[in-house]
Homo-oligomer: A and B are copies of this chain.
């Protein structure tokens, strides 16, 4: 399966009807979930039914989600609606699961059509870089990829590639979860010694949120400070705000328009669930997140080279953007970007709940004091332990749902120590309070050191990172 089909079929075709039904179904669900009036829901349902009827008339078959016309699945797989209750839901704006263990990532790999990062690939990375792979790789936090072997081929053949990642600056407040892709990207930059571009999608946040342009741009600059504090090499890293860079680059808009010519509304409706009442800014935005995947969007770095391969480390909810990008790339003469996908960072309250910038207790924020960290972990981190010490000693705790343990898998570097904690907690030898104490002792210096590094990030440093310029990228 893999990439998104072309979708250039006329309106009114079975595929078009299929897509309309899918989009309308999603709308009905969101109306029901939201505060829509009964009338609104009713008329949306009516349209849904009319569309389903048209579909049956056109194809002679009942509409089945996940089973586009012309794709009968003899195995009967097409009885499954991925967004039905009980199933996980993942797109760039919503991550939903009902399991305390979090999203079922193996299923997600199958549904998204990506590849698992298996032992063989990790071993190959280790051989290529001559270093121990990052703990995020060792522990399956970066768990899925697309075309990573091509990147390794390029690297082994001394061909250049570059890294691209990004952030949607929706507020000033960033939490530790936001750092995951950046911590990993910094490691990739170090071990592969390659240039990196970081997109701040302030235009996206302006379009999606109740923000002014100035606010969105202000958040982009503030967030850039936290990103810079991760330790990126100023000689190899370009950070840009879309609102700013679009008006400064001779190459960026040209690629945006190229992509926009090759993606239909049907396609973005199918991929992102946009509806007819979405603003045209949202509808065309995916092209803006796609464009940095192509090296000539950055003529100051790559001059007119269109074929420098791109590797995108990101959380897997961003994959829809890059499925679209990979579909478009060969049609506009560019290489497809490769991807490394991470799992989601769980909220303190458990992997099935959502972290929220407006709820300070849902995560550890980068501005938290040592005391706040201690209190949050002790009070709010969902525990897989037992109700009483006696029970815990006897039956042991459950690491699969314990948020403190999950956080340690992200941040405790020592594999042996982590394994010991897992064993001891599972056996009941380690109590919840002791587990939490270990986490607090890991997080407090981590956040304090981040804060110290962020303090060093002056306005001048931010300005330099955000200035379009040549980067040093002699491939070694």
Q: Which residues from chain A sit less than 8 Å from chain B, CB to CB?
A: 7-14, 16-17, 19-20, 24, 27-28, 31, 36, 40, 43-51, 53-54, 57-58, 203, 206-207, 213, 243-244, 246-254, 257-258, 260-266, 268-269, 274-281, 283-284, 286-287
Task: State the copy count for this chain.
Answer: 2
A13: contacting residue among B13, B43, B260, CB under 8 A? B43
CA distance A254 to B45 in the complex (A): 37
Instruction: Give the complex CA separation of A263 and B280 in angstroms.
Output: 6
Would you call A16 and B260 a contact (CB within 8 A)? no
Query: Bound complex: CA of A227 vs CA of B55, how far in Å?
Result: 51
Q: Is the interface of A mostly helix, strand, loop or mixed?
A: helix
Distance A269 CA – B275 CA, assembled complex (angstroms): 12
Q: A11-B275, A13-B40, A277-B11 are in contact. Are A284 and B260 (CB under 8 A)?
A: yes
Q: Which of B11, B51, B213 contacts A276 (CB 8 A)?
A: B11
Which chain B residue shows the least CB distance to A58? B43
Residues on B with C-beta less than 8 A from A213 are 254, 257-258
Chain B contacts of A47 at CB under 8 A? 11-12, 17, 20, 51, 54
CB distance from A301 to the nearest CB of B (A): 15
Q: Given A246-B253, A254-B243, A277-B266: A40 and B10 within 8 A (CB)?
A: yes
> Which residues does chain B contribute within 8 Å of A48, judged by CB atoms?
12
Chain B residues near A257 (CB-CB < 8 A): 203, 206-207, 213, 243, 281
- Which residues of B are found within 8 Å of A266, using beta-carbon distances? 276-277
Complex Cα spacing A50 to B14, Å: 14
Q: Check B284–A283 contact: CB distance below 8 A.
A: yes
B43, A31: Cβ atoms closer than 8 Å: no
A254 surroundings in chain B (CB, below 8 A): 213, 243, 247
Q: Is the CB of B264 within 8 A of A278?
A: yes
Pair A36/B10 contact, Cβ less than 8 Å = yes
A263 CB contacts on chain B under 8 angstroms: 279-281
User: How far is A260 from B19 in the complex, measured between Cα atoms in Å?
Assistant: 24
* Nearest 7 Cβ contacts at the A-B interface: A260-B281, A12-B44, A284-B284, A246-B253, A50-B54, A50-B50, A12-B43
